[in-house]
């Protein structure tokens, strides 16, 4: 197998250029009309779908979903985004654009193609900036401050329509001509469009091939032949009959979130930015008081040797988090790069197998030898490892505070929730003191305190893990320039302190820092980076630190799902979002996006196979398997 085909990489577009216009060498066809591609996009796709008028009537908190086959250069997408900017007036209305691409363009090619239209320059620049690493699967890209959300599935069309969950208002059936690109126009692929359409959905396509028209008709669309663009005489437009009138402008259901750590704060902010009011509840005096309250925390994931669903979830979360945190750059987000050292023989072997079986884009990570590792991290290392150029560290406590500060987030601190009770169609949140909080939906983001709040039968396989971090004052060490990870992680010095962590203490409830835990942190650190400490003697007794408790599941994978009891019964409108272990900073942005998609009824950012990894039901499996998986 050639290197390019190892997972998670994907074959990219092979282009030839003529007068700045790209043509696919693989398909022998152009991406857009040579004379004026933008005018063609508007004529063929935007106008027959009446996008301008329909955008104007999207209500506050509403969304409009365009689905496209064949993302190509992104020209159709930019034309749609431009129209959205001009016509959609409600600041909380969201344009969702769902597209699929089997042979994605490299970023440089995309930039070159889109440079043909100066009027699109700012949009093209933002797209290029956030264009994902070219790995198979679903990528959610937030643009225009979240007013535009692009779900770009890199893979084959049939796989995409099977994996993604969304209902479109309008379709762009693009692709190369059916004669040259038959896979795109297979009856099976066209038939799936119906299942992904809202009543009244419209579609448009440049082709007028009668087989395509008939297949769409038999899928339920009323089809019309209309004049094509330029030299193309005809094209097709279609509409799905409206079965029920939808009234989109309903008050959103109220959402209460219990727990103001990174998961709760990210979810609250995500919903608030979609116009949904949230009540954020925590027993502490402010956000980020628990495991998300450390001074520094790294965005770290361990990508598995096998590219399976678990690895895909970790990768998707990592790439999403890097783009998401960019808005906090130079505030609470420090993308210094992160070095994962091959610190033991076992880890060296693991990294070797991992590199042999996979091909990741260098913007995700690349292997480095000992010399390069030292250069990048700014301190000598004993081995090489993997360098993640887009990763870094955060100031989680400050970030939580910032996220929770939004006019649509009502903060209820010092509120100790004791119980949840289902009323008819709502939930009552019962605090130790004060009146009940009545809400339509509840999301429990209470970390290790979650099990006590679950009002359903059965034991959930969630465990509490103590983690102590050690604060090293700047004069005690040589500060690295990047995050360094091994059996412990070390961050660069900030405001005179570098945080090293963390211990992993099962069955230890001690909330106070101990000398023993500091000494463990320091020993692991000096084994990993000998000479990093100026004088380690007696340091464990004089340093300060912090203890918090993380919540992990039996399989060390997060949970983000509606709650399911041990009999498989779903507790409607009650969700849990926890089990993030020590990877919360990396996973939480993506999972907050996913839950906000579900809570707002908008297209989902994750394919079905990754949603299954997050299911709450798996926490109830037979206890026997628990001992095998931890």
> Which residues sit at the interface with ligand SAM, rule CB under 6 A?
13, 31-32, 70-76, 100-103, 156-157, 174-176, 181, 183-184
Give the span between the Cα atoms of 75 and 174, in whole angstroms. 11
Distance of closest approach, residue 232 Cβ to ligand SAM, in angstroms: 13
Give the span between the Cα atoms of 18 and 501, in whole angstroms. 55
Distance of closest approach, residue 229 Cβ to ligand SAM, in angstroms: 13
CB nearer ligand SAM, residue 136 or residue 550: 136
Cα angle 343, 348, 353; round to 5 = 150
Q: What is residue 39's three-state secondary structure?
A: helix
Task: Answer whether 616's CB lies under 8 Å from 576's CB.
Answer: yes
Give the span between the Cα atoms of 53 and 57, in whole angstroms. 7
Question: Which residues lie below 8 Å from residue 624, measured CB to CB, with a gap of 6+?
Answer: none
Strands 21-24 and 15-18: antiparallel
Give the span between the Cα atoms of 276 and 268, in whole angstroms. 9
Give the span between the Cα atoms of 360 and 364, in whole angstroms. 7
Plot region of 496 (φ>0 → left; ψ -120 to 50 → alpha; else → beta): left
Q: What is the dihedral of CA 536, 475, 391, 402, to 10 degrees?
A: 120
Structure tokens at 314: 């970790």
Distance of closest approach, residue 71 Cβ to ligand SAM, in angstroms: 6
Locus of tokens 């490892």: 385
Distance of closest approach, residue 323 Cβ to ligand SAM, in angstroms: 21
Task: Answer whether 105's CB lies under 8 Å from 114's CB.
Answer: no
Plot region of 205 (φ>0 → left; ψ -120 to 50 → alpha; else → beta): beta
Distance of closest approach, residue 72 Cβ to ligand SAM, in angstroms: 3
Q: What is the dihedral of CA 524, 525, 530, 535, to 10 degrees?
A: -110
Distance of closest approach, residue 171 Cβ to ligand SAM, in angstroms: 12
Give the span between the Cα atoms of 215 and 560, in whole angstroms. 38
CB nearer ligand SAM, residue 174 or residue 562: 174
CB nearer ligand SAM, residue 157 or residue 318: 157
Distance of closest approach, residue 66 Cβ to ligand SAM, in angstroms: 11
Distance of closest approach, residue 30 Cβ to ligand SAM, in angstroms: 7
CB nearer ligand SAM, residue 131 or residue 427: 131
Helix/strand number for the chain, H first, E second: 19, 32
Dump the DSSP string for 423-446. Answer: -SSSEEEEESSS--EEESEEEE--
Distance of closest approach, residue 85 Cβ to ligand SAM, in angstroms: 17
Give the span between the Cα atoms of 261 and 287, in whole angstroms. 6
CB nearer ligand SAM, residue 117 or residue 221: 117
CB nearer ligand SAM, residue 85 or residue 481: 85
CB nearer ligand SAM, residue 176 or residue 460: 176
CB nearer ligand SAM, residue 160 or residue 342: 160
Distance of closest approach, residue 95 Cβ to ligand SAM, in angstroms: 16
Give the span between the Cα atoms of 151 and 135, in whole angstroms. 14
CB nearer ligand SAM, residue 100 or residue 257: 100
Task: Answer whether 194's CB lies under 8 Å from 40's CB.
Answer: no
Task: Answer whether 498's CB lies under 8 Å from 478's CB.
Answer: no
Distance of closest approach, residue 41 Cβ to ligand SAM, in angstroms: 6
CB nearer ligand SAM, residue 75 or residue 532: 75
- Dihedral angle sign, alpha carbons of residues 588, 593, 596, 597: negative
CB nearer ligand SAM, residue 104 or residue 297: 104
CB nearer ligand SAM, residue 13 or residue 551: 13
Distance of closest approach, residue 314 Cβ to ligand SAM, in angstroms: 25
């Amino acid at each position: 197998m050639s290197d390019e085909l190892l997972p998670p990489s994907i074959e990219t577009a092979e282009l030839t250029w003529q007068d700045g216009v790209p043509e696919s060498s693989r398909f022998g066809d152009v991406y857009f009309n040579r004379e004026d591609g933008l005018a063609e996009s508007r004529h063929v796709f935007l106008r027959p779908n009446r996008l301008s008028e329909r955008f104007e009537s999207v209500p506050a908190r509403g969304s409009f979903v365009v689905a496209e086959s064949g993302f190509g250069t992104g020209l159709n997408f930019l034309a749609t985004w431009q129209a959205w900017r001009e016509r959609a007036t409600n600041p909380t209305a969201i344009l969702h654009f769902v597209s699929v691409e089997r042979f994605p363009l490299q970023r440089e090619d995309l930039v070159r193609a889109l440079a043909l239209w100066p009027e699109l320059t700012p949009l093209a620049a933002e797209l290029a900036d956030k264009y994902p690493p070219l790995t198979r699967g679903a990528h959610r890209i937030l643009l225009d401050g979240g007013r535009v959300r692009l779900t770009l599935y890199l893979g084959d069309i049939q796989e995409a329509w099977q994996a993604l969950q969304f209902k479109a208002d309008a379709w762009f059936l693009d692709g190369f001509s059916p004669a040259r690109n038959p896979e795109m126009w297979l009856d099976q692929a066209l038939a799936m469009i119906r299942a992904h359409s809202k009543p009244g959905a419209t579609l448009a396509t440049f082709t007028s091939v009668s087989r395509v028209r008939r297949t769409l008709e038999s899928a339920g669309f009323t089809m019309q032949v209309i004049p094509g663009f330029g030299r193309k005489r005809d094209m097709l437009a279609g509409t799905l009959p409206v079965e029920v009138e939808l009234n989109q402008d309903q008050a959103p259901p109220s959402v209460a979130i219990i727990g103001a750590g990174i998961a709760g704060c990210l979810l609250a902010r995500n919903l608030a930015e979609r116009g949904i009011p949230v009540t954020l509840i925590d027993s502490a005096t402010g956000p980020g008081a628990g495991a998300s309250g450390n001074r520094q925390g790294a965005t770290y994931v361990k990508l598995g040797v096998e590219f399976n669903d678990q690895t895909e979830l970790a990768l998707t979360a990592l790439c999403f988090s890097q783009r998401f945190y960019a808005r906090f750059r130079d505030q609470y987000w420090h993308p210094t790069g992160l070095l994962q050292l091959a610190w033991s023989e076992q880890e060296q072997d693991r990294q070797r197998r991992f590199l042999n079986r996979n091909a990741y884009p260098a913007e995700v990570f690349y292997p480095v030898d000992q010399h390069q590792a030292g250069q990048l991290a700014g301190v000598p290392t004993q081995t090489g490892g993997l360098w993640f150029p887009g990763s870094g560290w955060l100031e989680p406590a400050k970030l939580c505070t910032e996220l929770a500060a939004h006019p649509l987030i009502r903060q209820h601190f010092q509120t100790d929730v004791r119980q949840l009770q289902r009323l008819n169609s709502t939930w009552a949140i019962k605090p130790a003191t004060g009146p009940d909080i009545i809400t339509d939906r509840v999301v429990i983001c209470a970390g290790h305190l979650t099990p006590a709040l679950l009002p359903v039968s059965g034991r959930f396989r969630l465990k509490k893990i103590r983690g102590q971090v050690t604060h090293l004052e700047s004069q005690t060490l040589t500060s690295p320039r990047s995050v360094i990870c091994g059996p412990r992680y070390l961050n660069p010095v900030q405001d005179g302190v570098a945080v090293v962590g963390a211990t992993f203490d099962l069955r230890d409830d001690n909330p106070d820092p101990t000398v023993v835990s500091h000494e463990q942190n320091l020993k692991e650190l000096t084994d990993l980076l000998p000479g990093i400490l100026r004088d380690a003697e007696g340091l464990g007794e004089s340093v300060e630190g912090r203890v918090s408790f993380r919540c992990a599941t039996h399989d060390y994978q997060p949970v983000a799902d509606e709650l399911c009891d041990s009999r498989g019964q779903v507790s409607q409108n009650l969700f849990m979002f926890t089990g993030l272990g020590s990877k919360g900073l990396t996973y939480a942005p993506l999972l907050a996006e996913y839950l906000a998609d579900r809570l707002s009824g908008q297209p989902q950012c994750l394919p079905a196979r990754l949603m299954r990894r997050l299911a709450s039901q798996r926490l109830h499996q037979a206890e026997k398997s628990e001992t095998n998986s931890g």
